[in-house]
């Protein structure tokens, strides 16, 4: 038996998320269909995580096992990318020990969230959330992001019902860049952690954006970090602004 790890990029706009679903197009379902055709045998893949409907990826990973060997990496990538839809692309493949698993072997992830204030740009609409022309306090937004840095109990920032780690995650890195032009302002936030829970990045970003808009305060956010009583925040930033950039493994 052979065990493989692949890196895949995709635009999530046309899919009901990563996880395979009956009667709906998904990233996992599309990849498994192509792999099964390539190997002429049913193949099941295991992703490093389950991105939501509309979420994009540059460096999502998945692993799978096959009794067949791959004679040529270049030939495999060419064939797979011909079989897959144009908005999904396999970037690389490498053989791994049988004990390796794309999700269980991961030690961290990096996401990017991009949003835009100003004149609507339809050419950016699939990868940058379009927030319209509203007054936005960038300094308050940045101060909110700083509250997330480090290890916290993020139980109010996920819809996950329970968690073996007590909802604690370590936000190792947060970086924010601003790109301005005469008609708009693009804000791009990069977040890296030992792991993220269901909807966590989108709820964190949604909360920070609300602070920037003045509809939440920094004190409101502090009450939701390390809470004694759970009260899940119900606003998620739009899915199209989120991109999974990289999944980390031991030597990364």
CATH number of the domain that residue 49 is part of: 3.30.70.580
Report pTM: 0.94
Torsion of CA 165, 169, 109, 80, to 10 degrees: 40
Q: Does residue 161 belong to any structural domain of this protein? A: yes
Closest by alpha carbon to 242, among 160, 126, 138?
126
User: What's the pLDDT at 252?
Assistant: 62
Residues 115 and 193 in one domain: yes
Q: What domain count does the chain have? A: 2
**For residues 233 and 224, what is the distance between their CA atoms, to the nearest angstrom?**
8
Residues 188 and 155 in one domain: yes
Residues 160 and 229 in one domain: yes
**For residues 51 and 114, what is the distance between their CA atoms, to the nearest angstrom?**
16
User: What's the pLDDT at 182?
Assistant: 73
pLDDT at 214 over 90: yes
* SS3 state of residue 95: strand
**For residues 130 and 164, what is the distance between their CA atoms, to the nearest angstrom?**
36
Whole-number Cα distances in Å, 74 to 2, 5, 41, 146, 247: 18, 15, 21, 43, 22
Residues 152 and 92 in one domain: no
CATH number at residue 230: 3.30.70.660
* Final residue belonging to a domain, choices 96, 116, 147: 96
* Final residue belonging to a domain, choices 96, 123, 140: 96
The mean pLDDT value for 202-222 works out to 96
The mean pLDDT value for 74-95 works out to 98
The mean pLDDT value for 169-189 works out to 90
Closest by alpha carbon to 145, among 91, 203, 208?
208
Q: How confident is the model at residue 201 (pLDDT cuts 50, 70, 90)?
A: very high
Q: Does residue 62 belong to any structural domain of this protein? A: yes
pLDDT at 185 over 90: no
26 Cβ contact list (under 8 Å, min separation 6): 15, 16, 17, 18, 19, 20
Residues 63 and 14 in one domain: yes
10 Cβ contact list (under 8 Å, min separation 6): 27, 56, 57, 60, 87, 88, 89
> What is the domain extent for residue 178?
108-248
Backbone angles phi, psi at 136, to 5 degrees: -135, 125
User: What's the pLDDT at 179?
Assistant: 86
In contact, 49 and 242? CB cutoff 8 Å: no
Given the residues 52, 87, 153, 156, the one annotated as active site: 52
CA pseudo-torsion sign 226, 229, 230, 231: negative
Active site residue 52: yes
User: What's the pLDDT at 118?
Assistant: 86
């Amino acid at each position: 038996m052979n065990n493989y790890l692949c890196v895949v990029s995709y635009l999530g706009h046309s899919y009901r998320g990563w996880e395979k679903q009956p009667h709906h197009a998904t990233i996992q379902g599309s990849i498994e269909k192509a792999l099964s055709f390539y190997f002429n045998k049913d193949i099941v893949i295991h992703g490093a995580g389950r991105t939501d409907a509309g979420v994009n990826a540059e460096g999502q990973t998945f692993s799978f096992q096959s009794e067949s060997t791959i004679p040529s990496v270049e030939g495999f990538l060419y064939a797979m990318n011909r079989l897959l839809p144009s908005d999904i692309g396999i970037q690389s493949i490498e053989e791994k020990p049988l004990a390796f698993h794309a999700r269980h072997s991961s030690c961290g992830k990096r996401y990017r969230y991009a949003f835009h204030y100003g004149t609507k740009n339809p050419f950016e609409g699939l990868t940058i959330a379009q927030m319209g022309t509203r007054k936005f306090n960038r300094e308050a937004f940045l101060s909110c992001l700083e509250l997330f840095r480090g290890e916290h109990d993020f139980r109010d920032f996920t819809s996950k019902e329970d968690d073996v780690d007590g909802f604690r995650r370590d936000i190792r890195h947060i970086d924010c860049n601003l790109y301005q032009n005469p008609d708009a302002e693009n804000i791009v936030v990069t977040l890296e952690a030992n792991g993220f829970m269901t909807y966590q990045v989108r709820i964190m970003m949604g909360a920070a954006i609300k602070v920037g808009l003045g509809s939440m305060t920094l004190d409101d956010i502090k009450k939701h970090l390390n809470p004694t009583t759970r009260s899940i925040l119900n606003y998620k930033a739009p899915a199209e602004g989120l991109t999974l950039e990289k999944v980390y493994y031991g030597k990364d």
